[in-house]
Amino acid sequence: MVTSIGWNPFYKNEKKTIEPHIMHKFESDFYGEHLKIVVCGYIRPELDFVSVDALIEWIQNDIKVSDQALNQDRFMKFRFAESS
């Protein structure tokens, strides 16, 4: 999962938000369920983008960086954690 925590300047947010992007593709939705988030690292500071396409490009790069990081042994326990 890649998560943005901040003001999201591109969208001129007035409140700080937490916006998770779930990388795994699930067979069905889980609306109404609780979601636990574990922050394992930091990728980059918050940026203001010139276009939605630039924002999407950075998010795609963040996903690649996160996927590589989550393949490290020290993060495997979080990658496939069971719900409790």
Active-site residues, by number, are: 19
Q: Are 3 and 66 in contact (CB under 8 A)?
A: no
Helices (H), 1-84: 52-70, 76-79
